[in-house]
Copies of this chain bind each other. A is one copy, B any other.
Amino acid sequence: MSNTLIEARRELALANRIVANEGVIDAFGHVSMRHPDNPNSYLLSRSRAPELVTSEDFIEYDINSQPLRDPGVGQYSERVIHGEIYKARPEVNSVCHHHCPAFMPLLATGTDYMPIFHLGAVGGIRPPFWDQRDEFGDTNMLVVKPEEGASLARALGKHWMVLMMRHGVTVAGTSVRDCVFRSVYSARNAEYQVRAMNIGSDIATLSPGETNLAGQISAKTTGLTRSWEYWSMRVANKDHSAADGSAKPASSKAKPARSKTKPKRAVRKRRR
């Protein structure tokens, strides 16, 4: 195994534990990365809660989400979410799928995600919704068939986040750290947005210009480095004490203001 790969596996294991520790993921959900040496394959843990994942747990999948060799262990059923996005988006190198509590109010009401503070800009402008029922009718809601994964990837389009009605969220990133940063801060923003909506329907969202400018923060190493050090410390402290860690989180779908001067407006619901 190349040193690059060893390091990549360590980073990905830590990413799994960070998103769990920060409350984005519980027993379900997963974080993957494109293989550092082979862009037509990706690494994803065997079937287990992300908080338990170690660098030994990763299985290598081809771009069609088939394991390169018999893993001999249980596999996540929803891995096509990852494979189909890697297929459609060459610049994406990491994917996180989760059911973060903070997003649930948006997913259960079809409410657009709105960046309400600078860090929430990582969710992008008006991230799209996807409803498995539209194309596939009644299912058990799991995204397991290649065509289901491909449909989700089409809905994602050029965005960094897609909201899955009555299910969860899928986040993409240019790197593992970018993906984790987007996952955590879009979840924080969704949490705050929902709490803001509880006291008023006029939400002062970032303007499209502000969203674009603030969204570039996560591309800079300063913010990524500072937050990664912080989240890693929190994981390490927890491991050390082997203590339980409570979690929170959130994110949704930003609708750009019609006019640059009126980014504050009533919350709109998804037309259906």
Residues from 186 to 212 in A contacting B, C-beta threshold 8 Å: 188, 191-200, 202-207, 209-210
Q: Does A165 contact B (CB under 8 A)?
A: yes
The docked-state distance in angstroms from the alpha carbon of A237 to that of B110 is 38
Which among A51, A74, A117, A167 has the greatest number of chain B C-beta atoms within 10 A? A117
Q: Does A1 contact B (CB under 8 A)?
A: no
B217 touches A140 (CB 8 A): yes
Mark A221-241 against chain B: 1 for CB-CB distance below 8 A, else 0.
011011101110110111011
Q: Does A5 contact B (CB under 8 A)?
A: no
B residues less than 8 Å from A264 (CB atoms): 110, 272
Which among A108, A209, A260 has the greatest number of chain B C-beta atoms within 10 A? A108
The docked-state distance in angstroms from the alpha carbon of A241 to that of B239 is 10
B residues less than 8 Å from A223 (CB atoms): 28
The docked-state distance in angstroms from the alpha carbon of A65 to that of B245 is 38
- Which chain B residue shows the least CB distance to A51? B230
State the A residues within 8 Å of B (CB): 21, 26-28, 47-49, 51-52, 74, 77, 99, 101, 104-105, 107-111, 116-119, 133, 137-142, 165-168, 188, 191-200, 202-207, 209-210, 213-214, 216-217, 222-223, 225-227, 229-231, 233-234, 236-238, 240-246, 248, 260, 264, 267, 269, 272
